[in-house]
Chains A and B, each alone.
Chain A
């Protein structure tokens, strides 16, 4: 069975619910403080999945995810490289997404891991935004198999993807734009607030590396993995009560973690 390491420390704060998401779909694992991983980097060798959860590492000071990324880069670069060379999956959610971008683990064109090509910076409103949004998913990433749309929340002050035009074009061409913000009716948000909550270029909400095994996603699948977490749960359960049906627990966000499980059960190998 696959094993996940969920990073913690210095202000990351979504490690517990993120680990719960993996455990719920049958992936075992543990939360590991960055200082402990630096002390024993070989922990990575026995893991198949690395998850950098959401949070506020170093209070977003000097740019969200920057200081934590510097810490990883200076202490773990080689062990991380070894980890990526194996058949592994990596996910960065929210602050984790910002950290992956600052580490240059995405977009990593031609496997140039470490190249900073994409910034995830201040929302154009310069305001923290916590709200439910809709995503259109288009990707061959093992993380996103069988997903077309997702209704999950964002919660960030710096979720705006920025990059030069060449990078944007290349991301597009390579199919590395994994998810974009859309209106509830499925049409593009076209950078219109609140559908695109941060002014992200091309409505980008998530990108991957070229292999698709590294997913950097600003919205929070682990906060939208159960129906009772949804903003429309009261409506959903009322309809269920009236029709005498049962409220199913799994919701959109869970599929990402189920995909990781299926990947290591072999089910997704071909497509990856």
Chain B
């Protein structure tokens, strides 16, 4: 077949060209860039005028001959098999204009660069704008370009050699010794990639298959199902004296106890049992929430990792109960300083460098942007935390809130069950090699051997078509009895888990639609190709449901049957290639008791900590990345689509990057969803107990400060740990879990969903080829979701009027340990903030009453940077001055300003409300009137500092302004 190449030249002043010119000048060169969108296809219609003109905007674009006023031509395209969304759309355009076969189109981008550059410069530019794992770059000088008649025509076909030969390879485990078993686990079957199973699991499998052969697909299935990623063995295993393990023994138990104690007032509906947690919103609706991590893929391909993460957690929402509508996205990034470029390599020969922090930040920010924006889901809620130990393995958190009717067709919306006889129907994207071993790989540390096939790129539009068809049409027709998403583990997980409800399944693997021929059965079975949902459909509905999907441009296929045989069965063209007991598949992994140790970190509390000049120091603190503005992210994220945004991510005239948001998801209801989160990774340097407690407290306190009643608030836990095979790390984990159990029960704020990622370690080499291991600090992300009865009660952080009174609620203690301030001094200290749940709860209850009665004009929950950062942010937000005295706090200025004691809220109130306000807090001792909102546009703190707000705003906004 001849390949047709269509080149569409964009106008001179194209924004994309300008941004590449900016990147080039960042490299110290100057050049002019023209952008050419390239489409390649072997379809004969691809050469038709109709097709070419459908790709060319006559006002701004030209197709045909390219200008010759350039020095270098640089083309970036995708490698074979990598998701090419533009190519996909172009293929659909071909169909529209009447192409009768489905020969694919592929997209690439050609940059015509004019400037005084040599080949090295152009190669540098290429490295800046493409990722070798997923893309190809071709460079030609003008001379080469002309003599070779332009760029080469490249059609990135996938050609696999698995056609013919054995359908499934058979293995004999019986005679393997421990070494051989572990080698099999690490290198995989015939070196296909890690199974990632510990020896005890390998031995259990060996025993089960004593004297029998096991097929590759059976072994891969066990590796998926038993992976840390899917089984969460560390949280499930007995640990020290806790026989039930951390999950049942603490987290689930907290929720159980809270629900029992609340009785009638229990607002939990579906917790820990589904793809997301569900709580009551009002008499008609439930809201769901789920927060995922996508760390390992994001280290290799930040854009692909993040977009795959966000569209993946969207599917967790669509896969809740009968199917919930995604209404809000969350994000959170833990990154190294993007202004640094530490050199580490994945190999000892220093040929395979890690990505620079700035590249990772840009990539993960854009990934969530593309995924969230294209899916029409607002993304108002998020955070970024910086610590250089996130350099090798960034943490990428993505979450989705859903809305679902409490009753659908007279049945509870959150209930589903796959019945024996139901057909297995999969809808959405086709299956390719994408993300093979993603689940097993994310359960091990990143090193040289990390498989590139773990990298995927989400396709939001394919998923949007599928999720609209389900949520907006098919769900309410009651055509399926259960639904779940395909994420880690692909069909192996989704079918495997749903089959637990029916008691078995028989899958006919040859029926699964593929992106390209030649995949081996085990690959099809565990592929993590995205944008797929799996349903259990009564046989009589199969035809109708497939037709309905087709009407929406979505492919749906009947690929097998749920049974009650007790067996997990897979056949391929009639030959049985997997036949395993369901019991062994799901419960065959032996218990692995864990033992822990714990040593408190930190150092002697330093004394010489008072700054020479409080004013200068505050300016420096405001520019620290954990305090500074991240507005550049917010404005790229569509945060008001669906028309439900009420209190946004930027607050006040000064556009402060806020900690919480309020969304009004149902037009006919005044109620709002309040979201926030809290995390303090650095506190783990002293004690993970207080790290975790501080995170949970801040998540709760942020939401309460924003007006969410303390009694309608739920929590999600995401543990991102490191080296979780070391007793000391497990000891840190145990303490963290103990802490959140106690605080959750104290606050009566139940956990409704959680996830863990236990091996956030980078194992690589420094510039001298010496082995290094960089572990992310043990991190708990606590996310909060609550319901405010009327959005008119919402409270933002911006002071509203001159003359308003400033109160600090809660006690400030000498707690600078592991604080932003100490880190600024290069110290750790010892006095890490300790959370007093009892005192805090008293405050939150009284505060909830005050916010109900509309007594509070503005509020901010103190966090990183303590009172000083909070006062500065309030001053910037409101554009008013603040006149403050610290005398009543009974601490030296440095402690008073920068201590990070938890449980504190800084509020302003109108003088006309003062009497009611004082009455409301009668008997609560930790309420301090510390000043008022003033006319002069300065922050004045008696005996400490007096700074213009302009200066504070500049310091706060400058650091990340140009990203």
**Complex contact A11–B464 (CB within 8 A):** yes
**Complex contact B376–A13 (CB within 8 A):** yes
Is B519 interfacial (CB 8 A cutoff)? Answer: no
Is A117 interfacial (CB 8 A cutoff)? Answer: yes
Is B407 interfacial (CB 8 A cutoff)? Answer: no
Number of interface residues of A (CB under 8 A): 66
**Nearest CB on B from A115, distance (A):** 9
Is B664 interfacial (CB 8 A cutoff)? Answer: yes
**Nearest CB on B from A104, distance (A):** 10
Q: Which residues of B contact A17 (CB under 8 A)?
A: 642-644, 667
Is A170 interfacial (CB 8 A cutoff)? Answer: no
Q: Which residues of A contact B634 (CB under 8 A)?
A: 130
Contacting residue for B465 out of A11, A70, A125, A129, CB 8 A: A11
Is A265 interfacial (CB 8 A cutoff)? Answer: no
Is B798 interfacial (CB 8 A cutoff)? Answer: yes
With A122-B16, A233-B646, A238-B857: A59-B461 Cβ-Cβ less than 8 Å: yes
**Nearest CB on B from A168, distance (A):** 11
Please report which residues of chain B, range 86-110, place their CB below 8 angstroms from some CB of chain A when the two chains form the complex: 86, 88-90, 92-93, 96-97, 107
**Complex contact B85–A14 (CB within 8 A):** no
Q: Which residues of A contact B324 (CB under 8 A)?
A: none
Please report which residues of chain A, range 47-67, place their CB below 8 angstroms from some CB of chain B when the two chains form the complex: 54-56, 58-63, 66-67
Please report which residues of chain A, range 206-257, place their CB below 8 angstroms from some CB of chain B when the two chains form the complex: 220, 222-223, 225, 228-229, 231, 233-235, 237-239, 241-242, 247
Alpha-carbon distance between A199 and B465 when the two chains are bound, in angstroms: 32
Is B680 interfacial (CB 8 A cutoff)? Answer: no
**Complex contact B11–A10 (CB within 8 A):** no
Please report which residues of chain B, range 630-649, place their CB below 8 angstroms from some CB of chain A when the two chains form the complex: 634-648
**Complex contact B89–A58 (CB within 8 A):** yes
**Nearest CB on B from A219, distance (A):** 11
**Nearest CB on A from B630, distance (A):** 14
Q: Which residues of B contact A233 (CB under 8 A)?
A: 646-647
**Complex contact B551–A35 (CB within 8 A):** yes
Alpha-carbon distance between A58 and B60 when the two chains are bound, in angstroms: 20
Max count, chain A CB within 10 A of own CB: residue among B89, B465, B637, B801:
B89
**Complex contact B800–A235 (CB within 8 A):** yes
Alpha-carbon distance between A155 and B13 when the two chains are bound, in angstroms: 21
Is A9 interfacial (CB 8 A cutoff)? Answer: yes
Contacting residue for B93 out of A70, A153, A247, CB 8 A: A70
Closest B residue to A232 by beta carbon equals: B653
**Nearest CB on A from B447, distance (A):** 35
Please report which residues of chain A, range 3-17, place their CB below 8 angstroms from some CB of chain B when the two chains form the complex: 8-11, 13-14, 16-17
**Complex contact B646–A130 (CB within 8 A):** no
**Complex contact A237–B792 (CB within 8 A):** yes
**Complex contact A56–B376 (CB within 8 A):** yes
Q: Which residues of A contact B635 (CB under 8 A)?
A: 127-131
Q: Which residues of A contact B375 (CB under 8 A)?
A: 13, 56
Alpha-carbon distance between A67 and B374 when the two chains are bound, in angstroms: 15
**Complex contact A74–B97 (CB within 8 A):** yes
**Complex contact A124–B791 (CB within 8 A):** no
From DSSP, what is the main secondary structure of chain A's interface residues?
mixed
Is B336 interfacial (CB 8 A cutoff)? Answer: no
Q: Which residues of A contact B912 (CB under 8 A)?
A: 242
Max count, chain A CB within 10 A of own CB: residue among B11, B59, B651, B801:
B59
Contacting residue for A128 out of B373, B646, B664, CB 8 A: B373
**Complex contact B643–A223 (CB within 8 A):** yes
Is A262 interfacial (CB 8 A cutoff)? Answer: no
Q: Which residues of B contact A13 (CB under 8 A)?
A: 375-376, 464, 641-642
The contact sample of 28 A-B pairs, CB cut-off 8 A, is A9-B468, A9-B552, A10-B553, A11-B460, A17-B644, A33-B551, A55-B376, A56-B375, A58-B461, A61-B88, A62-B90, A66-B54, A66-B55, A70-B97, A116-B57, A116-B58, A119-B59, A124-B15, A129-B636, A130-B636, A130-B638, A155-B373, A220-B640, A229-B640, A231-B648, A233-B647, A234-B796, A242-B912
Interface of A with B (CB < 8 Å)? Answer: 8-11, 13-14, 16-17, 20, 33, 35-36, 54-56, 58-63, 66-67, 70-71, 74, 102, 116-119, 121-131, 153, 155, 157, 160, 162-164, 199, 220, 222-223, 225, 228-229, 231, 233-235, 237-239, 241-242, 247
Other 16 A-B pairs with CB < 8 A, given A160-B15, A228-B646: A13-B376, A13-B641, A14-B642, A56-B376, A62-B55, A62-B89, A70-B97, A116-B59, A121-B60, A125-B19, A127-B636, A128-B638, A130-B638, A163-B59, A223-B643, A234-B652
